[in-house]
Structure 1
Amino acid sequence: NCLQYFSGIWLGVEWDDPQRGKHDGTYEGTQYFKCRHPRGGSFIRPNKANFGVDFLTAVKGRYGLNEKQDAQNGIENTCVFGKKTVEFVGRDSIEKKQSGNKMKFPSTSISKSSAFSKLTTLALNQTEITWTEVLLCAPGWPVLEELYLTSNNITVLERPDNVLQTLKLLDLSNNQLLDGSQLHLIGHLPRLEQLILTNNGIPSVHFPDADFGCKTKMFPSLKRLAINDNKISQWSSINELEKLPSLQVLECRNNPLMDTEKNPETLRQLIIAKISQLEVLNKSEIFPDERRGAELDYRKIFGKDWLAAGGHWDPVRNKPSEEFLAAHPRYPSLCLKYGAPEEGELKGQQPLTLKNQLLTLTIKCPDNPEQKPVEKKLPESMTIQRVKGLLYRLLRIPGSELKLSYESSKLKGKEVELDNDLKPLQFYSIENGDSVLVRW
C-alpha cells in the first residue's frame, strides 16, 4: 500500500511483541490494516521484511535432507575460507550425521514412524503452529497425553478423526478461538480430562445436543475446565456446564459475569448450586456443608419466581414454565433433594440483590493462638452454614466439624453459640465490630 506523503511501497505488519509496534494500523487518520493489539502495528519497507517460513518447512530445513543435495555420498565440494579454497570431501554425508537429526520426517507415512511412539507430553507454545498442522503431525504421537499449544494465534479448530485419542490434557490458553461452538469440534476426544481455555475471547459455552437436566455426549471424561479471562457474561453458560457428565473442577475468574454480583460469596454460592458435581471452584475446595448451604439458599431465593412461573407444592399442579427451567435448570432436582420450599420460608424474603448489608466482623480462633485474627465483611443475611463454608477456605481447616459462637463488642467475655446452620447472622443480632469465635 502507498502511504500518503511517503512514496513507494510499504508493508503493514503486526508484531508478535506489541512493544515493537507504534499504532493499530492507522496513520494520519486513515486505517490501512487492523491489529489485535492497539499498538502492535507499524509500517516497514519490503526490503526490510523477513517473511520467515512455516513450522513444517523450518523443521524440514533444520533436520531433513535438502532435495537439491546430491544423493551420492563422497562427492567433492569446495568451500572458501577467507582467501583460501578448501576441498570438502563427503560434505552431504557429514552434514547428515552432524545435524542432530532427531526429528527427521520419514519418507513413508508419519503414522508408521516409531520416532515418537513413546511421547506422552509435548509443548508447542508460541510456535505459530496451526491446529491443522497439529492434526497433520498427530498420527506420529500415538500415546500423547498432554499437549500445550498456548499463544499460537489459533482461531479455528477441526475435528481430530482417529488422532489424539489418548489425550488427557489440552492447553489452548492465549489463543483467539472467540467462538464457543469451536469447542464442539474437540468435544469427542474420549479421554480428555483437562481443558485450559484461558484468555480466548470466548463469549459463551453451550452444548446443543442435550436438553436441560440431561448430560451432553461431548467431553465424556472432562474433569477440569479453565475458562478464566474470557468474555462470558450470561448465567446460561454456567447452566450449560451442568451438562458435562464428569466436571469436578472449574476456574472461571475474570469474566464479565463475575461483575453481576457485588458480593463474591453470593456469586460463588450461585455457581455451586448450579453445577451439582463440582468439587473445586477457582482453586478452592467445596465442602459438603458449603454445598448444602448454597443449594438451600438457591432453592429459597428463587422460590417466589418458581411459584410465579407455575411451580406448586402439589406434584400434579407443579408445571413451571420453560423460561424458568431455562434460567434455573437445577431447581426441580433441588426440590426433589430438599423438598419444595414451604410458604413460610418465602414470606418476607429479601431479593438477592438486597443481600448487601455488610457486617464488619473479626474472625478469631481462641484455641489456636497461632492463627491471627482476620477482619471480614459478611452480609447480615448470610446463613451460619455459608459462614462455615467461608471459614473452611479462609482458615484452610481440614474436614473437621466447626463450632461457632460470637462475642459482642459491647459485652466482652460473653459468648453466644451460633447453633442453627440455617439461620442468618442477623437472627443472632450480631453487629458491626463483633467477633466470631471459631473452634474445631
Structure 2
Amino acid sequence: MGVGSRLSHSGSLGTVCYTGEVERTKGTWLGVEWDDPNRGKHSGEHNGKVYFQCSIPGAGSFIRQTAETSFGVTFRRALEDKYLSGLNAHEEKLAPNTAEVFLLGTIEIEAPNFDRVRQKFSRIEKLKELSLDGEGVSSIEADDELRRWCRNVQGLNLSKNLFTGWNSILVAMSFLPALKSLSLDRNRFQTLTSPLPETSSRVTELRLNDTLMSWEELPYIAPAFPKLEALQLGFNRLQRLGPWKLSSSLVSTLRLVFLDGNLLSDWVNITEAVSGITNLRHVSLSSNAFVEIPRNTSSPLGNLKHLVLSSNMLSSWMSVDAVGEWCPALESLGITGNPITAVEDSTVRAFIIARLPSLRTLDGGEIRTFERRDAELFYLSYIANSIEDEDLRKREHPQWEALCQKHGRPDVTKPAPKGTMADRMITLHLHQLPKKHPSSNVLTADMVPESVATLRVLPSMPIRLLRMKIFKTLKIPPDKGKDALLWTLFNRMDNTWLATELPSAENREIDWYGVEDGSGIGVWV
C-alpha cells in the first residue's frame, strides 16, 4: 500500500503517490494519480499545499481505502479464476462420476468429478492465446504447474493490470518458452534507469500502448527482447523522440514501429530517431499532430516500405512530394483523414498516385496498372495546362520531368488531349434498393427507386474501390457495408431493369462487367 503501489478502486486504476494525513482532515488518505486523467480532480494539492505531483496535470485525487479498493491478485489466481472457475456448482449439476481418492501430503482427499477437473486443466495446456486483460494482476511467480499449463502459449495479453515494474513480466516470460506476442497496454511501469537483464525470449511483438513509456526508455528494455520486430508505443503522449543513450539490439531487429495517437509534430525529429534502425520497414504515425512534411535535406529512409499518416493535419501537396523524397522505396501509404484528402474528388487519389511513383497501395486500395497510367496522364495534363513556366513546373512538381519521359511531353498549345483521365471518367447513378434480396435478376420499375446520388469514376476503377466509394457517399456504416450487395442496373425497353451482381471482393476493373457512362448501380443493405 506504499507509494508506487498500483490499485483498483471502484473499477478505476491508479498509482499511489501519497499515503498519510491531509491537513484539516482525520485519518489516512491515499493520494492517487489515475490512469484515466478524467477521473482526477487536481494535481496532488489541497488547500494550497502540494502532497504529490502528477505526470498528467489534473489526474490526481485523494481517496480512502475501502472494500472497493484492491491492490491486485497473483497471475495464478487470475488464471484460475478466469479459466478454471465454476468447477464446483456447475459440476455438481452433472451426472456424478466415480470419486477419486488421492493424497495431499498425509491427508487423504476424495474428489468427485475429478476427471472433469483434469479436462479443464488439459484444455489450458492446449491454449495458444492467453488473456488476463483487466484481471487486476499485480505479481507473477513461477511454479512447475504454471510452466506446464502455459508451455504452448504464444500470445499473452496482460493489458490494464496493476504491475509496478518489469520483474513480474520477466518471470512470466521465463515460463512461457513459446511466447511470441506480449501485450502490456494500459499498464503504468516505473521509469527504467538501468537495462533489464538479458533473456533468451522469442517475443517478436510487444505492445506498450497507453503506458506513458518514452522512446528514450526502449534501449533499457531491449536486452530482455533480443528478437523484437514489432513495437507499439501508441497513445503515450509523446511529443518528441529523444536520442538513445545506450547501444541497442533494436537497431537491427525492429521492422515495424507504431506511434499512433501521440502528439508528434516534427517529421525531421522522427526521421532522426528511426534512421539508425537498419531493417525498419513500417512506421505508423496516424492521429498525431503533423501539419507538414518538409522537403528532404538529409539522408532518406531508403528501406521504408509502409507509412501511415492518416488523421493528421496535412494540407499541402508539397508534403506528399516530400514523402516521396524521404521514402523513395515506399510501397503503401495511409493518408486518409487529412485536410488534403477531405475533398470528395477522385483527382485527390490520382494526384497522390502520380506524385509517388513507387506506391502500390493507397489507403488500403491496390493501385492497378491502368489506374496509375490514368492518374499520371491526368496529372501531366493538369500541370501542363495550369503552369506555363517550365522552371516553376519542375520546382512545384518534382515528378514532372520523370513523367514526361515516361508518357511523352504534353502539347500545351492545344486543348488537353483525349485519353486523359478527365475525358475518360464516367457517371454512375446510385439507387438504394429494397433490403429484400431479389429472387430474379429482372426487376420491375417499382423495385428500383429514383437515383439518390451520382459518382464520377474511371472505368478502370477496381470493384473493391468502387464499393468503398459508394458506401462513403451513401454513408453506409462499415458493419453494414461488409454484407451489402452491388448490382449493375440496365434499363430495358419494357421498363424493367436487368440486375447483374458485382463480386464483393473483386479487383477486376468495373468496365469488364459492362459498367459504362450512365449505368445504374443498385445497393442492397
Alignment pair present for 1:228 and 2:316: no
Contact residue 63 and residue 100 of structure 1 kept, 8 A: no
Match of 1:174 among 231, 239, 261: 261
Alignment pair present for 1:203 and 2:203: no
Contact residue 428 and residue 520 of structure 2 kept, 8 A: no
2:204 is matched with which residue?
Answer: 120
Alignment pair present for 1:393 and 2:494: no
Distance 1:350 1:284, change over 3 A: closer
Match of 2:233 among 140, 149, 154: 149
Alignment of 1:349-428 (within 5 A): 360=429, 377-379=454-456, 386-391=458-463, 393-394=465-466
Alignment pair present for 1:293 and 2:380: no
Identity across matched positions, percent: 26
Tell me by how many angstroms 1:183 deviates.
Answer: 1.0
Aligned residues: 316
Alignment pair present for 1:309 and 2:409: no
Distance 1:116 1:148, change over 3 A: farther
2:407 is matched with which residue?
Answer: 338
Contact residue 199 and residue 223 of structure 2 kept, 8 A: no
Distance 1:13 1:288, change over 3 A: farther
For residues 339-396 of structure 1, the C-alpha deviation after alignment (integer angstroms, 9 at most, x for no partner) is 01124343899999xx999763679xxxx969x99986233xx6xxx33225463269
- Partners of 2:239 and 2:232 lie apart in 1 by 16
Distance 1:159 1:387, change over 3 A: farther
Match of 2:339 among 251, 256, 276: 256
- Partners of 1:19 and 1:388 lie apart in 2 by 50
- The residue type paired with residue 383 of structure 2 is F
Contact residue 41 and residue 61 of structure 2 kept, 8 A: no
For residues 269-311 of structure 1, the C-alpha deviation after alignment (integer angstroms, 9 at most, x for no partner) is 11111111111111111110001000001111121234x113x
Alignment gaps of 5+ in structure 1: 1-6, 25-34, 53-60, 65-96, 211-216, 311-319, 397-404, 416-420, 422-427
Distance 1:139 1:375, change over 3 A: farther
Structure-1-length-normalised TM-score:
0.58
Alignment of 1:322-333 (within 5 A): 324-333=393-402
- Partners of 1:223 and 1:369 lie apart in 2 by 44
Alignment of 1:127-146 (within 5 A): 127-146=211-230
For residues 181-201 of structure 1, the C-alpha deviation after alignment (integer angstroms, 9 at most, x for no partner) is 221221231111111111111
- Partners of 1:378 and 1:266 lie apart in 2 by 13
For residues 146-182 of structure 1, the C-alpha deviation after alignment (integer angstroms, 9 at most, x for no partner) is 1111121122213447421210011111112122222
Distance 1:118 1:330, change over 3 A: same
For residues 87-123 of structure 1, the C-alpha deviation after alignment (integer angstroms, 9 at most, x for no partner) is xxxxxxxxxx99984579xxxx858x44145332212
1:79 is matched with which residue?
Answer: none
Contact residue 232 and residue 258 of structure 2 kept, 8 A: yes
Partner SS, residue 359 of structure 2: coil
More strand by percentage: 2
- The residue type paired with residue 299 of structure 1 is L
Contact residue 38 and residue 59 of structure 2 kept, 8 A: no
Distance 1:98 1:255, change over 3 A: closer
For residues 242-295 of structure 1, the C-alpha deviation after alignment (integer angstroms, 9 at most, x for no partner) is 121221111111112222x342x2211111111111111111111100010000
Distance 1:100 1:348, change over 3 A: closer
- Partners of 2:168 and 2:397 lie apart in 1 by 65
Partner SS, residue 226 of structure 2: coil
- The residue type paired with residue 217 of structure 2 is E
Distance 1:46 1:180, change over 3 A: farther
For residues 387-438 of structure 1, the C-alpha deviation after alignment (integer angstroms, 9 at most, x for no partner) is 3225463269xxxxxxxx99678997999xxxxx9xxxxxx9x55xx4489x
- The residue type paired with residue 232 of structure 1 is L
- Partners of 1:182 and 1:255 lie apart in 2 by 21
Contact residue 233 and residue 256 of structure 1 kept, 8 A: yes
Contact residue 300 and residue 345 of structure 1 kept, 8 A: no
- Partners of 1:257 and 1:150 lie apart in 2 by 24
Contact residue 429 and residue 521 of structure 2 kept, 8 A: no
Please provide the CA RMSD for this pair: 5.1
- Partners of 2:259 and 2:409 lie apart in 1 by 42
- The residue type paired with residue 205 of structure 1 is I
Distance 1:348 1:233, change over 3 A: same
Alignment pair present for 1:17 and 2:36: yes
Contact residue 314 and residue 340 of structure 2 kept, 8 A: yes
- Partners of 1:301 and 1:98 lie apart in 2 by 61
Contact residue 126 and residue 151 of structure 1 kept, 8 A: yes
- Partners of 1:351 and 1:13 lie apart in 2 by 61
- Partners of 2:264 and 2:460 lie apart in 1 by 39
- Partners of 2:32 and 2:494 lie apart in 1 by 70
- Partners of 1:292 and 1:347 lie apart in 2 by 14
* Larger RCO, structure (CA 8 Å, separation 6 or more): 1
